[in-house]
Amino acid sequence: MSTPTRADFADALNGAGLDLAASEFPSEPFGPGSAWAQPGAWTNPGGLPNGVFECTWEIYIVVPQDSRAASVWWDTHAAAAAGAVMHLVFIDSIEPISLPTDGGDLWAVLITGRSE
């Protein structure tokens, strides 16, 4: 597995059949279906030689903002969203979150994974 790009994540999410509007970077205003990947820490687990690093990725998906609809989205689409990016990262977690924005908190799904 090679290090994916933001465009790789956007393509994977847009092709998942989940009615997402994934982009390479977060773009406001956010609404249901907004999605993007954000690279995080680069770590060298166990002090591996030759500059072998793992990159942590956070993939955000804004879901419907009604609490019932957000729960239904989680129940029916969370596994498919994870499956859409599984070829890009080793998935560590997928969880519902409250995403803070300038306009207030939004219901979202956060997929956290690692790539080489």
| Local mean pLDDT, 10-residue blocks, the chain (116 residues) | 88 96 93 95 75 87 95 95 96 95 94 91
* Predicted local confidence at residue 33, as pLDDT: 96
Please state, in angstroms and as integers, the Cα–Cα distance from residue 112 to each residue in 12, 44, 68, 69, 104, following that order: 15, 17, 24, 23, 23
CA dihedral 20, 26, 32, 35 (to 10 degrees): 30
Please give the distance of CA 110 from its chain centroid, rounded to a whole number: 5
Residue 113's closest CA among 41, 57, 37, 40? 57
The answer to whether the beta carbons of residues 64 and 73 sit under 8 Å apart is yes
Q: For residue 1, what pLDDT is reported?
A: 54
Give the model's pLDDT for residue 57.
96
The whole-angstrom distance between residue 58's C-alpha and the CA centroid of its chain comes to 5
pLDDT at 71: 94
CATH architecture of the domain covering 6-20+35-43+53-115: 2-Layer Sandwich (3.30)
Q: Domain spans of the chain?
A: 6-20+35-43+53-115
Q: How would you classify the pairing of strands 54-62 and 90-99?
A: unpaired
Is the pTM higher than 0.85? yes
In contact, 65 and 106? CB cutoff 8 Å: yes
